[in-house]
A and B are shown apart, each in its own frame.
Chain A
Amino acid sequence: MSGNRFNGFSNHGVGIGLRIPHYKEIFSRKPVVDWFEIISENFMCDAGRPMQVLERILEQYRVVQHGVSMYFGSVTEPDPEHIKRLKALVKRTGTPWLSDHLCWGSVDGNYTHDLLPLPYTWEAVERTVERVKRVQDTLEIPVAVENVSSYAAYNDSEMTEWEFLNEVVVRADCGILFDVNNVYVSSVNHEFDPLDYVNAIPAERVAQIHIAGHSKYEKYILDTHDHPVIDPVWTLYERAIERCGYTPTLLEWDDHIPSFDEVHGEALKANRYLNAAKKSNAAMVGAA
């Protein structure tokens, strides 16, 4: 299996995030990278260096857009300018799908620029579904929602995080950007078994997977994207691939960013699992 309707039936393999410290290396050496994920908000300007960089990248590489401030779970209305600029960027990049987070972050026009967790309530399900549907209809491409890592849980929650995710994606008929590192981080912070989460998601809706490193503190874990992927997260990834099959996979590394080769090398470790999925899929097709 390669691709589904939530990622435009794409054959994307392993990608990495496009980050400024790597520009020089990318433009001078033009390394082989299957695809880059860009942060949409970094390229929603009118012109200048960011757009020049984007044009150069688009000449050579496939790009997928990932947003950080759509805030599907925020109650107050999004800025129409945001949607307008996002749509223009979608047209420019030709991204086969677009992702943003299952969280909230703005209220009454004030932005926290953080990925704040939602209470897992039926009211939040309804609100989020409505916003996801509206964005999907406006942008006219598949939208995938990403599970966030969180450090707080609400007294008012009426279901588990994975039940909440499932309700949202089924009702909104959207995809999932499944972040296995976030599952791990949240499982430590909220004391649940991460495999319960991985085993519960509707695998057929997973458009993309995120892997990343994090920082461990005495009483909690922070999703800092500044380390290599740890073994327990690879284990979750392996299980996710078993369930989802060959899935576009992206390594996030956003702070203390090492060399391009180191980041890309870390990302390519995912091929161990993706190639196995490809082989098993080929064997199944052959047997049929």
Chain B
Amino acid sequence: MNTHRMSLLELQREMAAVVMTPLTADEGMREKTLDGRRTKAIAEKMIAPNSRLSSVERLELYNRQYWFRVLDSLAEDFGSLRKVIGSKRYDAMAIAYLNAYPSRSFTLRNLGSKLPEWLAEHAEFTGRRQKLAVDVAKIEWAFVEAFDNAELQPLNMEEVKTLSSESKLQLQPHLRLVALNYPADEVVLNLQEREGRQASEAGRAEEHEELAPMELGAMRAKQTWLAVHRVEYNVYFRRLVKEEFEILKAIECGKRLGEAIQAGLSETRIAERKQAAVLREWFQNWAELGWLCAKDE
């Protein structure tokens, strides 16, 4: 009989290792943890059975609860991705992602923060739609951030007029800039609209139903630049031209205004004589949208 008493830290590490091990295909506990230890041995070492449930069955309840909870939470934020690649691929992808990036935050809100970059390295889950899937994931994560990121007091039009090439600005924290390989914003908007209709007609959108990858027709790659931002309390998408995107990105990276403009217009096809007017219009739009803020020094 093993008489070694586990320290609280040992117990928590052992239990977490089992609870966070992915489930079997029929949603049961696996025989081994990811590092090859037998889950039955771990369960029996730490968990007491009762008259109805074995140690393994009792620990399995927590294993199942963990995976149901994190998978549901991720699916709430990446509903369009699930429809684009289909539920079968999505489910396998979500398990692999959460295995690679378990939650490191006290809030489930941040669960998907690494998904777009991780997905870009894992084409095995997306089939031929790899780049589109990554684009959709980027948009959906930007949506999460735009929804509740901070809002700073923006510069007003008068303040914007006083800016010089030496000025340093920061962007509104809820503004997220997303570069896409496909016009994936159209796909996401279309899916959100459809989901809204289904929800109002059926009362509730079905999250757990099996879905084949959605029909997208012949979708062609097209570089697309997107701002995902909040107006009042709603999140909107706004298409940007490449130069606009580059200038805003340079501001976001902390460049002085003159450098940011230079970076944005370095490869532009906008005629030089028109550039001043175009820039004025962009800055006016950004100021009206409240995107430009004073830089914290």
Contact = CB atoms under 8 A, between A and B. Distances in A.
A136 B57 CA distance: 37
Contacts of B16: 107-108, 110, 112
B107 interface: yes
A190 B8 contact: no
Given A41-B107, A152-B62, A107 B233 contact: no
Nearest to B149: A46
Interface residues of A, number: 49
A187 to B, nearest CB: 12
Interface of B: 5-9, 11-13, 15-16, 19-20, 45-48, 50-53, 55, 57-59, 61-62, 65-66, 69-70, 73, 102-109, 147-151, 173-174, 230, 233
A124 B46 CA distance: 15
Contacts of A27: none
B53 A155 contact: no
8 contacts: A41-B108, A69-B106, A76-B12, A113-B108, A116-B19, A152-B47, A155-B46, A191-B50
A248 interface: no
Nearest to B233: A49
Contacts, number: 132
Interface in A15-66: 41, 44-52
Contacts of A46: 148-151, 173
B172 to A, nearest CB: 10
B62 A116 contact: yes
A110 B5 contact: no
A134 B240 CA distance: 49
B61 A75 contact: no
Contacts of A124: 8
A73 B12 CA distance: 10
A111 B59 CA distance: 17
Nearest to A69: B106
Given A41-B106, A154-B11, A156-B46, A48 B65 contact: no
Given A41-B107, A219-B53, A152 B59 contact: yes
A114 interface: yes
A41 B111 CA distance: 14
B8 A154 contact: no
Contact of A47 (B9, B52, B106, B151): B151
B20 A123 contact: no
Contacts of A154: 11, 46-48
A119 B73 CA distance: 28
B11 A156 contact: yes
B13 A45 contact: no
Give 6 nearest A-B pairs by CB, closest first. A46-B150, A45-B148, A48-B148, A152-B58, A219-B52, A111-B103
